[in-house]
């Protein structure tokens, strides 16, 4: 007689009390088991890959990476059924989480609550009904599609980005999506400065901009830049940051959207910068089958961002700044995009 195959649950919640309450509820069910725990979304994403749980219980309000950002990154890298469990979520937060892919919600009451336990077990078990649809992976972008390269940078980034564009100018066939940590107002002037370099047509990104060869878009300060599909073409959208997001624009947000929309065709570069913005997004791209490159320590002004991305295991190539354009040109040729992009006009 074969042993009962249990539903494995990953619990993500920054509250030790809530984690214990969920553990106790699941411990009473013979068909369920806790696969692991995480105290924030960043740790949770890593455990999703390591543990491959059947279902995730997720708090929305967490440090470092909240539940909303977690859901965006999860659906682009390792789609897994998510049940939101939170004592602080308002109704609008729940609906937002479900729009981002959560399949249901359980309200966590303070103290002992038998109704909460019954509802939790019932909705965790419901994963069997929705697991098959969740296994569908990110669809590939239908041809034709431009060769899109996402670039993220912070401290020391303006000079590095200029050198990247100058190096790519010999074959301006890519479409560049650039996140440079800058406040509102400065990104417009930065785009104008890069546009004067030629041959890329560089502008500050706006809603509805269509991606195409020879174009470069700078994420506007104070906004998040994302890729979306509109029929057969790729477009950009600029949205307000979520509460608690540290960076706007955020490299993670751009890279996550690229992973979701482009899948294995996503290509990204993490340049010099302080902190870890871009690391989680790089992980999402790698797990969607895309390619991530990073600037090496020998040329990075600050090795924080590239170093953090490399530490995730997502980066395939680590190169000094002057070698990165050549590597991207080679990837563009492998993608079969032709010898040249369109002229500026």
User: Which residues carry out catalysis?
Assistant: 154, 181, 277
DSSP secondary structure string for all residues of 88-134: S--HHHHHHHHHTT--EEEE--SS--HHHHHHHHHHHHTHHHHHHHH
State the Cα–Cα distance between residues 332 and 116, nearest whole angstrom. Answer: 53
State the Cα–Cα distance between residues 135 and 130, nearest whole angstrom. Answer: 9
**CA nearest neighbour of 279 among 300, 303, 298:** 303
DSSP code at position 319: E
**CA nearest neighbour of 18 among 81, 89, 73:** 89
* Distance set, CA 287 to CA 13, 203, 310 (Å): 23, 30, 14
- Please confirm whether the linkage preceding 199 is cis (ω < 30° from 0): yes
Environment class of residue 92 by beta-carbon count within 10 Å: exposed (0-12), middle (13-18) or buried (19+)? exposed
Which residue carries 């990154």 as its tokens?
Answer: 73
State the Cα–Cα distance between residues 81 and 67, nearest whole angstrom. Answer: 13
Q: Residue 245: CB partners within 8 Å, gap ≥ 6?
A: 69, 224, 253
Q: 22 near 40, Cβ under 8 Å?
A: no
Q: 328 near 293, Cβ under 8 Å?
A: yes
**CA nearest neighbour of 335 among 168, 164, 139, 173:** 173
């Amino acid at each position: 007689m074969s042993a009962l195959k249990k539903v494995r649950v990953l619990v993500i919640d920054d509250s030790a009390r809530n984690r214990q309450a969920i553990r106790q509820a699941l411990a009473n069910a013979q068909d369920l088991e806790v696969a692991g725990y995480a105290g924030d979304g960043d740790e949770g994403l890593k455990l999703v890959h390591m543990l491959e749980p059947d279902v995730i219980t997720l708090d929305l309000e967490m440090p470092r990476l909240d539940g909303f950002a977690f859901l965006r990154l999860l659906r682009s890298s390792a789609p897994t059924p998510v049940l939101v469990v939170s004592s602080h979520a308002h109704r609008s937060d729940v609906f937002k989480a479900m729009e981002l892919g959560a399949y249901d919600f359980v309200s966590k009451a303070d103290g002992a609550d038998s109704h909460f336990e019954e509802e939790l077990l019932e909705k965790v078990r419901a994963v069997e009904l929705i697991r098959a649809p969740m296994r569908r992976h990110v669809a590939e972008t239908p041809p034709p599609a431009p060769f899109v390269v996402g670039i993220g940078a912070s401290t020391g980034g303006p000079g590095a980005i200029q050198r990247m564009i100058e190096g790519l100018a010999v074959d301006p066939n890519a479409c560049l999506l650039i996140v440079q940590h800058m406040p509102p107002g400065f990104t417009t002037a930065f785009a104008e400065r890069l546009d004067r370099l030629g041959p890329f047509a560089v502008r500050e990104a706006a809603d509805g901009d269509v991606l195409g060869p020879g174009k470069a878009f700078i994420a506007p300060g104070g906004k998040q830049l994302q890729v979306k599909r509109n029929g057969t073409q790729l477009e950009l959208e600029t949205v307000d940051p979520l509460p608690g997001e540290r960076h706007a624009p955020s490299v993670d947000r751009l890279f996550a959207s690229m992973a979701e929309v482009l899948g294995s065709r996503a290509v990204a570069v993490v340049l010099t910068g302080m902190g870890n913005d871009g690391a989680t997004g790089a992980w999402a791209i790698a797990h969607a089958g895309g390619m991530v490159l990073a600037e090496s320590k020998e040329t990075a002004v600050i090795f924080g961002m590239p170093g953090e991305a490399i530490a995730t295991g997502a980066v395939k190539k680590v190169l000094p700044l002057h070698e990165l354009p050549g590597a991207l040109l080679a990837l563009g040729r492998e993608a079969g995009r032709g010898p040249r992009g369109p002229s500026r006009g």
